A and B are shown apart, each in its own frame.
Chain A
């Protein structure tokens, strides 16, 4: 059983349905015991980091998720859920992440400005993955496959754990993995058939 962490952020309907479509039952829950009993955990998230982080802390689930991940339970963070795996975020302030993967979250705008690129923010749409490191989360994913992204901030200073990047004038972290802790900046549940294959890699590892 896969548990999708429900802490009052975002729409979890598509995520649950996409897992069902590939034959995996998932429970959307904010219950500590259900998370403990689950074989694996997905941490979703949309919106602003500070707000989502505060909600996760208020629910007390931040400690549960961190402890279970440290104990070896497979954890997949999606979009903002991935960004929360890192040490710190600088999205409209400064916030502590869960500290499961070393790295920080920074504005894409700063990178684009440094490169002198006037591209649109958020980085929204279908972009190609460049797989830079082998990891079982990407075992069903092909080099160059497109995934659906929607974000204005990106994970930086995490090179050791980056498994896929994407190019938006500058190189952005697309997926990370550190042992049993994994993250996708894109939305696999909105990335068509390619996204479903990534979810099945997580569900069947």
Chain B
């Protein structure tokens, strides 16, 4: 059977990883290719790169870095950030990305999902969404959690899948950065309405949180985290061994 996936996420600005790792053994801790190789060696099942660059020049630095990663690391690579048009899909796919994650670009123009799915296939289109609880229930936010889109998260997840998204990244703003565990309630609600793989994001603080995630929400396929991996609080190799000992299927 398919294993559950562990996915480190790297934020990249101007071609450099923001919040580099605190590994003393590596010289250039901010080089995406160096970190990608390190994570690959540790057993990461996939890598996600978010381009948080705002400028044209910065985006070129990002795609150059992506190419260097794709030349060396042979596991699935997902790219997100600044994806607003089909041309943006082309730009990162031609540099070695396997999947493209779209967030606010799809909120502004939902047909972007249809267009990208029909051109590249659903397996290539990942819909990422930032969700926060409001008095209206689970609500989709954008702009790093500052802008309330008014969209219902459950309905948006279902719409994204029906338009052709092949995977969902569900990031809970409520649990993000708190390190008290993934947002089980939100993930259960989403997984009950869609039949594509779900990647849970936001809230991982320790290995036990991943075990709880996969046990409580069988519909979740992957756990994504950033800082706990970057700062070495959780070692991917150890995490995967631990999860396997808990009865979760893992590729080791």
* B195 in contact with A120 (CB, 8 Å): yes
Question: Complex: how many Å from CA A21 to CA B75?
Answer: 13
Interface band, chain A: 20 to 34
- Distance of A118 from chain B, by nearest CB (Å): 8
Checking B74, B167, B195 against A196 with a beta-carbon cut-off of 8 angstroms, the contacting residue is B74
Contact with A along B133-162 (1 / 0, CB 8 A): 000000000000000000000000000000
Residues of chain B within 8 A (CB-CB) of A20 are 71
Q: A150 an interface residue at 8 Å Cβ cutoff? A: yes
The one of B5, B72, B94, B122 that contacts A125, using a Cβ cutoff of 8 Å = B5
Q: Which residues of A contact B195 (CB under 8 A)?
A: 118, 120-121
Question: Given the complex of chains A and B, what is the CA–CA distance between A192 and B1 in angstroms?
Answer: 18
In the complex, whether B32 has a CB less than 8 A from a CB of chain A is: no
Number of B interface residues at 8 Å Cβ cutoff, please give it.
27
A14 adjacent to B70 (CB under 8 Å): yes
- Asked if A202 is an interface residue, CB under 8 A from chain B, the answer is no
- Asked if B176 is at the interface (CB within 8 A of a chain A CB), the reply is no
Residues of chain A from 118 to 146 with CB closer than 8 A to chain B in the complex: 118, 120-128, 146
With the chains together, A48 CA to B117 CA distance in Å? 12
Q: In the complex the two chains form, is B1's CB within 8 Å of A168's CB?
A: yes
Contact B3 A126, beta carbon cutoff 8 Å = yes
* B197 and A146 contacting across the interface, CB-CB below 8 Å: no
Q: Which residues of A contact B206 (CB under 8 A)?
A: none
Would A189 and B74 count as touching, CB distance under 8 A? yes
B40 at the interface (CB under 8 A from A): yes
Q: Could you tell me if A11 and B94 are in contact, using CB atoms closer than 8 angstroms?
A: yes
Q: Is A68 an interface residue (CB 8 A)?
A: no
From known contacts A146-B251, A150-B123, infer whether A123 and B2 are also in contact, taking CB-CB under 8 Å.
yes
A99 part of interface (Cβ distance < 8 Å):
no
Which 9 pairs, one residue from A and one from B, show the smallest C-beta to C-beta distance?
A146-B251, A125-B2, A126-B251, A17-B71, A126-B3, A150-B123, A18-B74, A192-B75, A13-B96
State the A residues within 8 Å of B (CB).
Answer: 11, 13-14, 17-18, 20-21, 46-48, 118, 120-128, 146, 148-150, 167-169, 189-192, 195-196
Contacts from B to A (Cβ < 8 Å): 1-3, 5, 40, 45, 70-72, 74-76, 93-96, 98, 121-123, 166-167, 195-197, 221, 251
